[in-house]
Amino acid sequence: MLHKLTLAELQHKFTAGEVTASDITRAYFLRINQVEPRVRAFVTQCKQATMDQAEALDRKLKGWRKTLPMMAMPLAVKDNICTQNVKTTCASRMLEHFTPPYNATVITKLQEQGYLLVGKTNLDEFAMGSSTENSAFGPTRNPWNAHMVPGGSSGGSAAAVAADECVAALGSDTGGSIRQPASFCGVVGLKPTYGRVSRYGLVAFASSLDQIGPITKNVTDAALLLGAIAGHDPRDSTSADVPVPDYTNAFKKRDIKKLKLGVPEEYFASGLDPDVGRAVRAAIEELRNLGATVKEITLPTTDAAVATYYVIATAEASSNLARYDGVKYGLRTKETTDLLNMYMKTREEGFGAEVKRRIMLGTYVLSAGYYDAYYGKAQSVRTLIRRDFDAAFQDVDFIVTPVTPTPAFKLGEKVQDPLQMYLSDIFTISVNLAGLPAIAVPCGFSQAGLPIGMQLIGRAFEESTILHAAYAYEQATQWCTKRAIIR
């Protein structure tokens, strides 16, 4: 049952010569055929091309087993990350037939190691959403309960990992879009520090917030995949020229006796689901038992995070999505009378309701007379949020919070109430505004049997610290070993 293995376990078997790349590929596409009609995690599958690549890789190796970490590893990629000669749709009619002529930097890095692309995963259109219900190609379903959402916007990637349709996946995180679906689907999701992983080739939603990161079955796999994609990229002006450590060194010690853990009171206020509160509090006690010093802290501007985020993110979305005008690439409406009509009809037909909503909000806050009142003020509050974290990290090494206020909710439950949908990200948004790393780790289940996640937040470029703490917790508990039973 190769599809049940973690990335590290599958890598070990391949390196030892116990399985071939072709064996791995056949096993995973068999699994996809079995469960994909129920889960619907993929927009595009790459079966034939991947089988051909696996066979070529086996011929090239000819028994030589000194392999690279991602060699022959079957990965899924969120469909807003450019893949040369493979469609990148952003789950939008606007880009339904778009095939990029180049690879994102993260894809180039993985190709250099010989990874296998099993397919492109579903998402909320242009990564705008928290449930993967905004996709132009239909919703993805939660492998734990097909009546529930998988989270978003990287819901397809999280569902694919949880359903064992790939050994790991890439997602993108603008306001929690890796961590929230990872929590809903009972897997691990890591949002790296802003600038740690190149954004070149990631279709932009909000450029100062977007970050590519791994979604995996456990913490070890997250460290392996992050190490494969991290690093400075001269093609990305926001990429940080900071050395990339061997993240697996964080696992050499299981104890966390020298670490101080901060618990912000603002994240445990009214509105938090009782099951989530109990699970995360129990996880904090487990970290205390493992040796961490627990300290109550405060992040005073947390209440302003959602409003701040939805001003900045929509403003940047309005600017980034202006390029889709029916001229350069993507959809172009055929029934037009003049140039202006062509622009308007193309955008009307190509964008879904949520994308239009965010473009209009962003255009409004950037308009004359409102820029200073909304966008300028939001940027000022963003600075205050970052200062809150800076002050907290003077006293603690990492911060622990819930990932989401509730477990996964029902399909259709919040579609007609955008504000309630936006509040799903209330505990993750601040991390993106501050540009910090954070990881979501399974820490329990609700009474309804749905996964619950814990979020560990670290200092900028200190992913190793949160990986160390997350690994220690994972080894002391059994939550990461639980797998969805797909009916």
Give catalytic residues, as residue numbers. Answer: 78, 153, 177
Give the helix/strand (H/E) hosting 74: strand 74-78
Which residue, among 437, 459, 454, has the nearest Cα to 393 in the 3D structure?
Answer: 459
Which residues are within 8 A (CB) of 444 and not within 5 positions of it... i.e. 6 or more apart? 275, 278, 279, 280, 282, 283, 451, 452, 479
Beta bridge partners of 479: none
Which residues are within 8 A (CB) of 113 and not within 5 positions of it... i.e. 6 or more apart? 68, 69, 70, 71, 228
Give the whole-angstrom CA distance, residue 96 versus residue 286: 47
Backbone angles phi, psi at 29, to 5 degrees: -70, -30
Strands 168-172 and 74-78: parallel
The structure tokens listed for 12 are 């070990």
Give the whole-angstrom CA distance, residue 204 versus residue 81: 9
Three-state DSSP class for residue 179: helix
The structure tokens listed for 9 are 């376990």
Which residues are within 8 A (CB) of 443 and not within 5 positions of it... i.e. 6 or more apart? 279, 280, 282, 283, 452, 453, 454, 473, 477, 479
